[in-house]
A and B are shown apart, each in its own frame.
Chain A
Amino acid sequence: MRKRTLLYVPAIHMEADLGTLAARVEQGSSSITGEQRWIRHKKTVADFWDAIADYLDSVEAQGLKIYQDGLVADGKLGLKIVRRGAETGSKNHQIILKLIQRGAELMRTEDSQLVKQEYEHLIRLAQSTSLLRKALAYLQYKLNKARLTRERDRFIAARIGETLAEGQRGVLFLGAYHNVFPLLAKDIEVKEVKEWEKVSAYFARLVRGRDETEFDRLAAYLASPVALD
């Protein structure tokens, strides 16, 4: 039996990935981390995607199946979504577009109802005007986030299991707050383009704002060239 291989890229969202939410997320995030730290984070993220792009340029794209965080369509509609993202400056989408042009195949990755639920929570959060409504929207989001993420992960893992055939290779771009690895079929070999644990640790420190040395080390790791064979 020929093994199935999945490259995992812990997707880090940039402003361009957030559409209409970008301005509010930018404002909110900057106030949590502090302005200087947020500016530095944006540079780290840009370098991170450059490193991912360089690495994936060296990967054989023909026959590669692409699974993307939040992507609820494939075919023409999926391509349209990716093109639009690429045009608005999303490096994640630009990389995917390039892979498609080189022969990779875009796959419907997520369940539209689950993604819609997540998006609606974020919209409510972003549109809440008073502190009280924002606090309530955040509580409601947090109350549902764990369940939604688990349900999305289960769907994504099942989708990969069903569509990645024996001997095939895939690449999964998925946010670091997801954890699909334990849910994937046992015969799928996962290669982490950037280590999930380090990316998660980086975000925990970005938000908490402690342990500068470790934060610097993790930021340097994110921005460094990919060390995968």
Chain B
Amino acid sequence: MPEEGRYIYCIINADGRREFGPIGIGGHGDQVHSVCYRELAAVISSTKTMKYPVSRPNTIAHQRVMEEVMKDHVILPVRFDTIAESKKKRGVLVETHEQRIITQVLKSPYREFEDLLEEMSDKIELGVKGLWQDMDTIYAEIVRENTEVARLNRRVKKMPSVQSQAERVRLGEMVKRALDEKKRVEESRVLGALKGLPVDWRQNKTFGDRMFMNDAFLIETRQERGFDAAIDELNERYDGRMIFKYFGPVPLCNFVEIVVTWED
């Protein structure tokens, strides 16, 4: 039977115990609260010491806790599935979960945590997904812009489908390469339009053919309106061709991820 541990979600500034509700990961209504060391705290909940698979319910639960904490605090996200176990020697408890979190996580880099929280206090993370609206137009452009694709496309069309299987596969590969390149070009164009607004940005994996960008931006809060306006302008400028899905503020997971490796 797995022992009990403490799941850690994020690090915040707090000088006393804070309660965030029965929203802990695992779906058992575990209370989420803080464990403090001086003015620093880890946000935790009770859990079994097991490995949480990266499933949608688990990642959403992790994210949801951070979003709840974010309502009142600047947060530094801790890597998904970070669990503190108590420390025993020959069956005798020598360090509780909370003591372990304090000694191994909060205490040593105390000043660095404080500095980073201060650094992040005026920043937010926003996400932008860019999607093409009409893929027929995009594929037509690929054929028009790429003579080899156009030539092979014409040839394949003339051949009976049974005989053209190999060519079709080759054509598919060529189109995929051209599409990836097109995504890169479109993304660069968008990033160019946003230049100077974010402090930092991260490129995430895109999903499906339509999505040409899936990026996270770290923005100073004073730039938020400017960033909103820039996205609105992009939506107007590329109306009919692209659409931008814009979301946030979200936990700063693309820019900060605290990784804890426990000492035996």
> Is the CB of A77 closer than 8 A to any CB of chain B?
no
Which residues of B approach A to under 8 Å, CB–CB? 104-105, 108-109, 112-113, 115-116, 119, 199-200, 218, 255-256, 258-264
Closest to A151 in B: B263
Complex CA–CA separation, A138 to B256 (angstroms): 12
Which of chain B's residues have a CB closer than 8 A to the CB of A132?
Answer: 119, 199-200, 218, 255
B84 to chain A, nearest CB (A): 13
Question: Given A135-B119, A139-B112, A147 and B263 touching (CB < 8 A)?
Answer: yes
Interface size class of A (residues with CB under 8 A): 10 to 19
> Is the CB of A142 closer than 8 A to any CB of chain B?
yes
Q: Which 5 pairs show the lowest CB-CB distances between chains A and B?
A: A142-B109, A139-B112, A147-B263, A143-B109, A146-B108
Complex CA–CA separation, A132 to B116 (angstroms): 8
Q: Which of A136, A139, A144 contacts B261 (CB 8 A)?
A: A144
Complex CA–CA separation, A79 to B105 (angstroms): 38
- Asked if residues A150 and B263 are in contact (CB atoms below 8 Å), the reply is yes
Closest to A133 in B: B200
Q: Which of B108, B115, B119, B199 contacts A143 (CB 8 A)?
A: B108
- Asked if residues A143 and B116 are in contact (CB atoms below 8 Å), the reply is no
Which of chain B's residues have a CB closer than 8 A to the CB of A142?
Answer: 108-109, 112
> Is the CB of A36 closer than 8 A to any CB of chain B?
no
- Asked if residues A139 and B116 are in contact (CB atoms below 8 Å), the reply is yes
Q: Which of A145, A147, A150 has the most CB of B within 10 A?
A: A147
> Is the CB of A140 closer than 8 A to any CB of chain B?
yes
Closest to A129 in B: B200
Which of chain A's residues have a CB closer than 8 A to the CB of B255?
Answer: 132, 136
Is the contact region of chain A dominated by helix, strand, or loop, or is it mixed?
helix
Complex CA–CA separation, A143 to B263 (angstroms): 11
A113 to chain B, nearest CB (A): 12
B160 to chain A, nearest CB (A): 56
> Is the CB of A130 closer than 8 A to any CB of chain B?
yes
B258 to chain A, nearest CB (A): 7
Which of chain B's residues have a CB closer than 8 A to the CB of A147?
Answer: 104, 261-263
Write out, one digit per residue, whether chain A residues 77-113 have a CB within 8 A of any chain B CB (1) or not (0): 0000000000000000000000000000000000000
Write out, one digit per residue, whether chain A residues 135-174 have a CB within 8 A of any chain B CB (1) or not (0): 1101110111111001100000000000000000000000
Complex CA–CA separation, A139 to B256 (angstroms): 11
- Asked if residues A143 and B105 are in contact (CB atoms below 8 Å), the reply is yes
Which of chain B's residues have a CB closer than 8 A to the CB of A143?
Answer: 105, 108-109, 112, 258-260
- Asked if residues A138 and B108 are in contact (CB atoms below 8 Å), the reply is no
- Asked if residues A139 and B258 are in contact (CB atoms below 8 Å), the reply is yes
Q: Which of A130, A133, A136, A150 has the most CB of B within 10 A?
A: A136
- Asked if residues B259 and A140 are in contact (CB atoms below 8 Å), the reply is yes
Q: List 22 A-B contacts (CB under 8 A).
A: A132-B119, A132-B218, A132-B255, A133-B200, A135-B115, A135-B119, A136-B116, A136-B255, A138-B112, A139-B112, A139-B113, A139-B115, A142-B108, A143-B258, A143-B260, A145-B108, A146-B108, A147-B104, A147-B262, A150-B263, A151-B263, A151-B264
Complex CA–CA separation, A72 to B256 (angstroms): 32
Inter-chain pairs besides A146-B108, A147-B263, 16 sampled, C-beta below 8 Å: A131-B119, A132-B119, A135-B115, A135-B116, A135-B119, A136-B116, A136-B255, A136-B256, A139-B115, A140-B258, A143-B105, A143-B258, A143-B259, A144-B261, A147-B261, A151-B264
